[in-house]
Amino acid sequence: MTLHSPLHEEHVRLGATMVDFAGWQMPVRYAGDTVEHVAVRTAAGLFDLSHMGEIMVRGPQAAEALDFATVGRISAVTLWGAKYTMLCHPEGGVVDDVVVYRRDWDHFMVVANAANKDVVVDELIDRLEGFDAWVEDFTPGIALIAVQGPASAAIVMAMCELGAGDIESMKYYSASNVLLTGGIHAFVARTGYTGEDGFELYVNAADAVQTWRLALALGEPAGLVPCGLSARDSLRLEAGMPLYGHELSRDTNPIEAGLGRIIQWGTDEAPRGDFVGRPALEKVREQGPLKVLTGLVGTGKRSARTGYAVMDGSDNQVGIVTSGAPSPTLGAPIAMAYVPPALAAPGTELHVDVRGRHEQMTTTALPFYQRGA
Amino acid sequence: MANIPDELLYSAEHEWVAGEPTVGAVVTVGITEHAAEALGDIVYVEAPQVGDTVTAGEVCGELESTKAVSELYSPVTGTVMDINGELDSAPGAINADAYGDGWIFKVEVTAKPKDLLGSEAYAAITD
C-alpha cells in the first residue's frame, strides 16, 4: 500500500518528481537538487515531512517511561523543550533515532523516521509496560512542514497570527504553540535536519495545504523554494547528521556513530537508572568501539556511495561507506564511512572502491559544513 | 511531463539517437529528458573515448548526479567519433538541454541496430 501526504496534490501541481520512500509517495525534487540545496544554505527551503511518525506518549509516568525506553534523560526535558535521542536494542544497536518534545508535564511527542514508525510504536508499547503511560500513533492526522535556512525565522514569524514573538525568541531545540494566519493551530519547533537555522511546523493534516501555500506565498519573495528528499539528504550529509538505514542500524550503536554524548548515564548528583540497552552500551564505553564513523573528502569527481568498500594503502578492505554524494557547498565528493578507530584520525589517506576504480579520500572530522554564528 | 521529440529514436535504457542509424552513418547519442529528470542534477559524465568501440545495449560510461549513479549504455554498435567535451566542465547541460547541448557522444554505426524505439513506443515505457 502506498501512503500519500496530505500535500500530495500540491507536489504534483508544482511538478515535483515523486518517489517511493518508506512506503510513501514523496517529492524527491522540484526544480533541481542543487538549486534546492543552495536555497536552504543561502535563503530558505520548504519541505514536506509528513511521512515522519508522530507518536504521543502520555500519562502520569510518561517521563519515567521514556527515561527507560530511550538513552536520554527525557524527564529532564523542560516544557516545550526537545531532545534528540535514540531507542536502542538490548544489544546496543539502534532501533531508531528520534526527537522527543515535551508538550505538557505528562505529554511527549516522539518523532520517528517513517521507515521505523511502526517498530517504534511497538517498542514503546512494550517498554511502557508497568508504567502509568500509554502510546498513541498520531501520524496519519498530522502534517509536518519544515522551513529551513537563514531566512526561515522571518518567514515563520510572518506566517503567525499569534506567536511571532515566541518564534523570534525561540531557542534551538525548543518549541511553542502558535496560531498561523487563517486560524491554523501549529506546534512549531526550532529543529531540523539541514545544518541551518530552521523550524518544523506540526499541523492538523486538514490544514496542511493552507499552511504549505502560506509558507510558499510569504517565503518566495525571500528566496524560499520547495525542496525534495534529495536536497534534504545532501544537506544532512554536509551537516554530518546520521540517517537511519545508513549510519544507524541494528548493527550499529550510538557510540560507534559518534553520538555517545546523547547517552545520558547519570551523574553522582543525578544518578540514572536502567534503560534498554544500558548494560551493552556500558560495555562498549569501557572497551571502546570496534568501528567509528568518519568523514571522507575526495579530490576527484566520482563520489563514494552507500555500501562501497573503504580500502587502506595495501588494498585491504578496512571499512564501508554509509552515505556519499558530491557536496554542493564544498564542491568535492564527501562521504561518511565506518572504519577502525586506528584509521579514523583526521588526515588519514584511504581509498574507496568506486565501481572498480580506487578514488583517494582523506578522513576528516564531521560535520563537513557548519553554519556561521 | 518530459519532452520526447518525434524525430529521434530511443533505447529502452533511455538513450536517444539522432540521425538515421544505417551502417556507415554518424549518429549523435544522449540521454532522454525523462532519464535526466530521474537522475537529478548531473555532476559528472564519464563518456567513452574517441576511437572506442561501443556495442548496442552495453555499458559504455557512467553518469553521476547528486543523488545517484547511472550506467550509460550505447544504443548503437560502432566506433566513437566525437565526445561532447563541454560536459566536463558543464555536465548540467544534460539537465538543461538533454536533446541539444547535452549530447554525449557521436558514433559511426557499424551494425544495423535492432531494438530502437520510436517516440510513441518510448513514451509508453516511461509512463
pLDDT of residue A373: 60
Would an 8 Å CB–CB cutoff place A332 in contact with chain B? no
Q: What is the pLDDT of residues A81-113, one digit of tens each?
A: 999 999 999 999 999 999 999 999 999 999 999
Q: Average the pLDDT over B92-103 and give the result.
A: 96
Residue B95 with chain A: CB contacts under 8 Å: 32
CATH superfamily label, A1-286: Probable tRNA modification gtpase trme; domain 1 (3.30.1360.120)
Residue B125, in any domain of the structure: no
pLDDT of A70 > 70? The answer is yes
pLDDT of residue B2: 84
Q: What is the pLDDT of residues B3-30, one digit of tens each?
A: 999 999 999 999 999 999 999 999 999 9
Closest chain B residue by Cα to residue A34? B41
Would an 8 Å CB–CB cutoff place A328 in contact with chain B? yes
Amino acid in the structure at residue B46: E
Higher pLDDT, A301 or A226: A226
Residue B6: Cβ-neighbour burial (10 angstroms; 0-12, 13-18, 19+): exposed
What angle do helix axes A229-238 and A33-42 make, rounded to 10 degrees?
Answer: 50
Mean pLDDT of chain A: 97
Q: Which CATH architecture does the domain made up of A290-373 adopt?
A: Beta Barrel (2.40)
pLDDT of residue A57: 98
In terms of residues, how long is chain A? Answer: 373
Q: What is the pLDDT of residues A330-368, one digit of tens each?
A: 999 999 999 999 999 999 999 999 999 999 999 999 999
Residue spans of the domains in chain A: they are 1-286, 290-373
Would an 8 Å CB–CB cutoff place A230 in contact with chain B? yes
Closest chain A residue by Cα to residue B67? A230
Provide the 10 A C-beta neighbour count for residue A175: 25
pLDDT of residue A213: 98
pLDDT of residue B1: 65
Count of the separate structural domains present in chain B: 1
Residue B103, in any domain of the structure: yes
Would an 8 Å CB–CB cutoff place A223 in contact with chain B? no
What residues form DSSP beta bridges with A311? A317, A351
What residues form DSSP beta bridges with A294? A337
* Contact (CB, 8 A) for A262 and A77: no
Minimal C-alpha gap between A168 and chain B (Å): 34
pLDDT of residue A205: 98
Domain membership of residue B74 as a residue range:
9-110
Q: Average the pLDDT over A282-292 and give the result.
A: 97
pLDDT of residue B68: 87
Distance of CA A79 to the CA centre of its chain: 21
Minimal C-alpha gap between A325 and chain B (Å): 6
Q: Which of these, A278, A290, A286, lies nearest to A90 by C-alpha position?
A: A278
- pLDDT-derived band of residue A315, with 50, 70 and 90 as boundaries? very high
Phi, psi at A233, each rounded to 5°: -70, -45
Residue B98 with chain A: CB contacts under 8 Å: none
Minimal C-alpha gap between A259 and chain B (Å): 26
Select from A26, A29, A227, A306 the residue whose CB has the most chain B CBs within 10 Å, as the one to mutate to test that interface. A29
Q: Average the pLDDT over A147-153 and give the result.
A: 98
Q: What is the DSSP letter of A248?
A: B
> Do A233 and B67 lie within an 8 Å CB cutoff?
yes
Q: Between chain A and chain B, how many beta carbons pairs sit less than 8 Å apart?
A: 43
> Do B66 and A230 lie within an 8 Å CB cutoff?
yes
* Contact (CB, 8 A) for A31 and A40: no
CATH of the domain at B40: 2.40.50.100
Residue B69 with chain A: CB contacts under 8 Å: 303, 305, 355
pLDDT of residue B112: 92
Residue A303 with chain B: CB contacts under 8 Å: 44, 64, 69
**Cα angle, residue A128 at apex, residues A127 and A133 outer, rounded to 5°:** 165
pLDDT of residue A372: 80
Residue B76, in any domain of the structure: yes
Closest chain A residue by Cα to residue B35? A17
pLDDT of residue A1: 74
Q: Average the pLDDT over B53-65 and give the result.
A: 95
Q: Average the pLDDT over A120-135 and give the result.
A: 98
Tell me: ipTM over 0.90: no
The closest CB to that of A33, out of B44, B66, B69, belongs to: B66
Residue B72 with chain A: CB contacts under 8 Å: none
- pLDDT-derived band of residue A212, with 50, 70 and 90 as boundaries? very high
Residue for cell digits 584511504?
A: A350
The sign of the torsion formed by the CA atoms of A42, A44, A50, A52 equals positive
pLDDT of A149 > 90? The answer is yes
Residue B38 with chain A: CB contacts under 8 Å: 17
> Do B66 and A302 lie within an 8 Å CB cutoff?
no
Would an 8 Å CB–CB cutoff place A246 in contact with chain B? no
For the record, the C-alpha cell of A23 comes out as 512506503
Would an 8 Å CB–CB cutoff place A323 in contact with chain B? no
For the record, the C-alpha cell of A296 comes out as 571522507
Minimal C-alpha gap between B45 and chain A (Å): 9
